[in-house]
Structure 1
Amino acid sequence: MLPSKPLHLGTLFDDLVERGSTTAIRLSRPLDAAPEAGLELDVAGAAGLVRRFAGWFARAGVRPGDRVAIVKRNHWDYVLLACAAARLGAVPASLSGHLAPETLDTLLRRLGPALLVTDADLLRAAYAAGRDLGGRASRTLVVDGGVEGTLSPADVRGGTAPPPRRPHLDAPLAVMHTSGTTGTPKLVVHTTRTLMRRLAGFEAHRWPVLGSRRDDTVATSISFAHGRALAWTAAVLWLRPAAVSLITDPDWDEAGPALHRHRPTTLEAQPATLARWQRRLNREAAAFERVRLFVSTFDAVHPSTVRAFLNASGRRAPVWMQGWGQSETGPLTFRFFTRRSLSGSQDVDPTTRDLGRPVPGRTRLRAVDPRTLRPLPPGETGLLYCRTEALCTGYVGEEGRWRGKLLGQWWNTGDLGSIDRTGAVRLVDREVDSLAEGGCLEIEDVVDERLPQVLECVVLGVPDGPPVPVVVVEGAPLDPGVWKEAVADLPAMAEPVVMGWDDLPRTGTGKVRRGTLREHLGLPRTAAGTGRWT
């Protein structure tokens, strides 16, 4: 008898077939690991690919308990490859192809994988940078072949997938990495209990507004190397919508045709992706006219972006759901926005820093004094700690770092914020990025609201001087007078540094890598924060 919620990662697609799922799986480009599958799959076809990949891995020598590292160009086949590894009782570890070669080398050294699954371009680029990534694994499988000394699909073709193995609920199931905005990402270990039961299981419920409906076309454009991709896939497909649309690249040349061809009714995308698409809404609004629900995760999103997409929808009352959480914890709070809730007022700028309340019955939050770690009264700003049964079980190769963020059963998020008497959370900053006066996130929101020509604003704190704003502008150069007028009532800042969109260093989820940006600008590595809790 099948469980009522998705439970087993390795047999997820077989279980979906047994449930009679008819969801169409539509791709913005063919899978890297199976290009012959084309642009559309059904669930049975996806299940067949998982079994095929499991056969590859078995023939490559993967055994239960081994780690299988997956690092390649962004695509949904990350999920299928991870399911294939889990089917064998191995532990998939998904690493973003956006990571620098030296970072990948460090993470692979910590993982010690039995098999590295990658693509030729990434492997060669790393080698050109002086990093032999294949040397960190017992064997390397290149999905598009053509690299001497590695396995290609032709070398492992014909391998038969053995019967699926299901790990203990609390045994390692999958490894994913944090964003790495402040340095080398952590390797987060999740189990069947934390990832499938707690995270995917909670979402795989037909909640009002949030739950996928049978007539939905559910679209997503995210980093499929991120743990979110596993939970999203399991939860959404379990609810059997009419179709899912998987967009692998935020560039409009790929994303635009996919959005117009399969117009979504619900859309989840990274905030940086939405910011890129926002400038096209005047000409491309038809791609979003059917959306009833927008979802943003991974990073903060600006009020102007939320407002613009809600207004682009042709629905009478579209809703925006903003989630706040971490790779280690999954979602901690959520908040809904409507057209009316972001109208603002003449005296108060609208904000998306009010994160809503903890997920009822699943998470608890408290703010503590950063020095004493004692709980603070309602409304006072401190370090935000959470308590959740979805908490990861460790960091690969950095167990001391993981344990150092625990205070009993409470987990240090590394974020600064306040919690009012009703339990509502207001985010101020990452502790490592905090300013002596005000919060960089709030300043960035206000700049975005007041200066529509600014595509991105990143405020970097400096220990012994005013913070430095870095701005990306569209069209005409930034007018110094207009800038000064817009920030006159904000904390004093240095003169803005103007950069191009593509010049900002980003993670695979679109977040700005503030530490790298500091180095690029010759600024000190830290702001007013200690960086102790990253």
Structure 2
Amino acid sequence: MRPYDMGVLFDECADRGSGTRVRLDRPFDIAPDGGTDYGVGDLATLVTAASGWLAAIGTQPGDRVAILKPNHWDYDLLACAAIRLGAVPAQLSAHLPADSLAALLHRLNPAVLLTTTEFATLGKAFAGRVVTLDGPERGVVHLDLLRGHRAPPPRRPREHDPLVINHTSGTTGVPKLVVHSTSTIIRKLAGLESFRLPAIGVRRDDTLANASSYAHGRTFCWTASVFCLAPRRIVILSGQDPDEADVLLRRYPPTFVEALPATFVRWRPLLSRLDNPFRDVRFFLSTYDAMHPPVIRDYLHASQRRRPLWMQGWGQTETGPITFRFFTRKSLAAERERHPSTRDLGRAIPVRTRLKVVDPDTFDPVPRGEPGLVLARTPARCLGYIGENQRWQEKHTRGWWNTGDIAVRRRDGRVLLLDREVDATPGLSCLELEDVLEDRLPAALECVVLAVPGKDPLPVVVTESGRIEQEDWANAVHDLPALQPPRVLTWGEIPRTGTGKVRRLALLTTLTGCADTPGTGRWT
């Protein structure tokens, strides 16, 4: 089976006899009394019911339906329900700052907003109708008043029309609203993932664990593909707290894990427990952001499988995955050295993706081994940005998409990421320094190196205590380029996006009082 119509995805899987069971860490926000155990048929019933709720509030084909709620996989169920009516869902993370949410809602001008009482007042300023999921609020409709309404027959989406709207992470400012069609995100992306590939593909006897930011396009694509592969069990985790995740992971030990980079970091304490829940994992998958070597190394060694694999994908909301690389225990055996490690992003995805590296000023190709701006050509490129057409036009030229990343393409075709263009500093890579520092500082949960115009880079070390030993720092930086004295913070003091990425511009502004960066930021 290949994914196509997201409005009836679960109905089609159920009709084919899929035995996949879904286990949740907490009940869905749209079905608080529905429990935590779902079969594919149950999911189909819930999506159909949600389609009825949207019809009851007056949702019409072509309407934009914004979804803004606590993090959980029912983001994608609500998206499927809207698509079933012919509407276009727009998934917004509740982790976004209030000013960013206001800007995105203003651009969207949604006909309907599904949200919670926390955002109801904001929603009333921008949405035609507001539905709260968690309780009544003056001037809006509570979901309970819509339950039981009969859903109309499903409408099949046209392949090249807008299907879903997702926003970018927003590490350097207000996120972009990215529009994908059935052709780009389902046929070109999910269709590729729904092949049962040897060694790295999803098997029917797998237990998949997914811990993501469910407002983002990655999980919408994942939903479309993974249910076509019909694994035995899917475990959904909505939070990053290791103790809460441990309960479900030990009950259903996964064999295949996909999580946010920040979630892998937060879950590291589980690896040292006697009943390590990752002992049977054969395949780890990370996207959104490059991982640091110590984290990948720890997870690979925690698995009791003979040859566990880690796949790191690099891409963007606008394009889907662009490159991929596999890590093994052997490939990360070297520690504390200055090596590209996880900043080596591997090669472009065969057949479907092409890359070139160009001079940022002239856009002429640069020789292999020289740094430049990365351009990508992929059939999965999105349709455009909502409310920012000029920004969209500036980022693509003659079929090539400007990623806004500075990298080196080696002679063998591998891509070595240096920095985002907005953060690029000639002669060094802040991202590489982060890798090295984290590998050399045992107490570090995360290291961030911020580029500062006219000054040495500013290192930020994240620890549990908010302190590091000066001797450890001196040993870590003895052979590195000049850096400012480190700022040591705790995890909670770092501003983050919904995907756990560091909001670098916000952090830089907080620490220095200035938002200037060495790059232009033109293609951010």
Measure, in 2, the Cα distance between the counterparts of 1:528 and 1:54.
Answer: 48
The question of whether the paired residues in 2 share the 8 Å contact of 1:28 and 1:255 is answered with yes
Render the CA deviation track for 1:212-248: whole Å, top value 9, x for unaligned. Answer: 1010000110000000111111111110000000000
Match of 1:15 in 2: 12
Contact 1:343 1:350 in 2 (8 A): no
Q: Distance in 1 between matches of 2:495 and 2:412?
A: 38
Matched residue, 1:110: 107
Residue 474 of structure 1 aligns to a residue in which SS? coil
**Does 2:200 correspond to 1:200?**
no
Q: Which amino acid aligns with 2:193?
A: E
Alignment of 1:391-430 (within 5 A): 391-430=381-420
Residue 378 of structure 1 and its aligned partner are, at CA, apart by 1.0
Equivalent residue letter for 2:90: A
- Distance in 2 between the 1:350 and 1:404 partners? 30
Secondary structure at the aligned position of 2:369 is classed as coil
Aligned pairs (5 A) from 1:261-340: 261-283=251-273, 286-340=276-330
SS at match of 1:107: helix
Deviation larger for 513-522 or 362-371: 513-522
Is 1:53 equivalent to 2:50 in the alignment?
yes
Please report the TM-score for the alignment, with normalisation by the length of structure 1.
0.96
Displacement of 1:257 after TM fit? Answer: 0.9
Code of the aligned partner of 2:9? L
1:24 paired residue among 5, 21, 25: 21
Corresponding residue for 2:216?
226
Gaps spanning 5+ residues in structure 1: where? none
Is 1:39 the counterpart of 2:29? The answer is: no
Q: Does residue 526 of structure 1 match 2:516?
A: yes
TM-score (norm 2): 0.98
Once residues 169 and 258 of structure 2 are traced to their aligned partners in structure 1, the CA distance between those partners, rounded to angstroms, is 18
- 1:453 correspondence with 2:453: no
Partner of residue 477, structure 2: 487
Q: Percent identity?
A: 52
Deviations 1:410-465 (A, max 9, x none): 00001110112221111111111122331111000000111111111111111011
* Cα offsets for 1:260-283 (capped at 9, x unmatched): 111100000111111111133212
Q: Residues 344 and 350 of structure 1 are in contact (CA less than 8 Å); yes or no, is this contact kept in structure 2? A: no
Cα distance in 1 between the residues matched to 2:462 and 2:333? 25
**Does structure 2 retain, via aligned residues, the 8 Å contact 1:437–1:491?**
no
- Equivalent residue number for residue 344 of structure 1: 334
CA contact (8 A) 2:465 2:490 kept: no
Give the secondary structure class of the aligned counterpart of 1:524.
coil
1:347 to partner: Cα distance: 5.6
Q: 1:216 aligns with which of 203, 206, 219?
A: 206
Counterpart code for 1:61: G
* Equivalent-residue separation in structure 2 for 1:350 and 1:315 (angstroms): 26
Q: Which runs of 4+ in 1 moved over 3 A?
A: 345-350
Structure 2: how far apart are the matches of 1:449 and 1:533? 31
Match of 1:379 among 369, 372, 382: 369
Asked if structure 2 preserves the Cα contact closer than 8 Å seen for 1:444 and 1:457, the reply is: yes
Give 1:74's match in structure 2, choosing from 59, 71, 76: 71
Q: Deviations over 1:33-73 (max 9, x none)?
A: 00111011000000000000000000100000000000100
Within 2, Cα distance between the matches of 1:281 and 1:263?
A: 13
- Supply the distance in 1 between the matched residues of 2:349 and 2:502 (Cα, whole angstroms): 27
520-529 vs 382-391, which moves further: 520-529
CA contact (8 A) 1:285 1:313 kept: no
Are the aligned partners of 1:462 and 1:524 in contact in 2 as well (CA < 8 Å)?
no
Deviation at 1:376, TM superposition (A): 1.1
Alpha-carbon distance in structure 1 between the residues aligned to 2:340 and 2:176 = 34
CA distance in 2 between partners of 1:345 and 1:398 (Å): 44
Relative distance call for 1:476 and 1:465 in structure 2 (3 A) is: closer
Higher mean alpha-carbon deviation, 354-363 vs 279-288, is at: 279-288
CA offset digits 1:46-101 (Å, max 9, x no partner): 00000000000001000000000001000010010000000000000000010111
Q: Per the alignment, do residues 161 and 375 of structure 1 end up closer, same or farther by CA in structure 2, a change over 3 Å counting? A: same
Distance in 1 between residues matched to 2:478 and 2:517, nearest whole Å: 22
Aligned pair partner of 1:360 in 339, 350, 353: 350
* TM-fit CA distance, 1:484: 1.9
Distance across 2 between alignment mates of 1:421 and 1:11: 46
Alpha-carbon deviations, 1:181-202, whole Å to 9, x = none?
0100000000000011011100
Give the direction of change, closer, same or farther, for the CA distance of 1:523–1:71 in structure 2 (3 Å limit): same
CA distance in 1, matches of 2:151, 2:401: 39
Residue 179 (structure 1) aligned with residue 169 (structure 2): yes
Identify if the C-alpha distance between structure 1 residues 98 and 287 changes in structure 2 by more than 3 Å, giving closer, same or farther. Answer: same
Which string of whole-angstrom CA distances, capped at 9 and with x for unpartnered residues, describes residues 12-35 of structure 1?
111111221110011010000001
Equivalent residue number for residue 422 of structure 2: 432
The one-letter code matched in structure 2 to 1:91 is V
Number of residue-to-residue matches in the alignment:
524
State the alpha-carbon separation in 1 of the partners of residues 456 and 438 from structure 2. Answer: 20
Residues 347-369 of structure 1 show CA distances to partners (whole Å, capped at 9, x for unaligned) of 65461011111111010001000
* Distance in 1, Cα, partners of 2:502 & 2:384: 25
Contact 1:217 1:266 in 2 (8 A): yes
| Counterpart residue number, 2:226 | 236
2:498 is paired with a residue whose SS is coil
Residue 87 (structure 2) aligns with: 90
> Could you tell me how far 1:284 is from its partner in structure 2?
5.7
Q: Distance in 1 between matches of 2:206 and 2:429?
A: 39
| Residues 1:345 and 1:73: Cα distance change in structure 2 (over 3 Å) | closer
Q: Given the superposition, is the C-alpha separation of residues 260 and 121 from structure 1 closer, same or farther in structure 2, using an over 3 Å criterion?
A: farther
Where does structure 2 lack aligned partners over 5 or more consecutive residues? none
Instruction: Return the letter of the residue paired with 2:127.
Output: A
What is the deviation of 1:523? 4.2
The answer to whether the 8 Å contact 2:376/2:400 transfers is: yes
Q: Secondary structure at the match of 1:321?
A: strand
Distance, in Å, in 1 between the alignment partners of 2:218 and 2:339 is 31
- Displacement after TM superposition at 1:517 (Å): 0.6
Structural RMSD (CA): 1.3
Q: Give the residue type in structure 2 aligned to 1:20.
A: G
CA shift for structure 1 position 477? 2.8
Give distance in 2, aligned partners of 1:14 and 1:166.
Answer: 13
- What residue identity is the alignment partner of 1:54? S
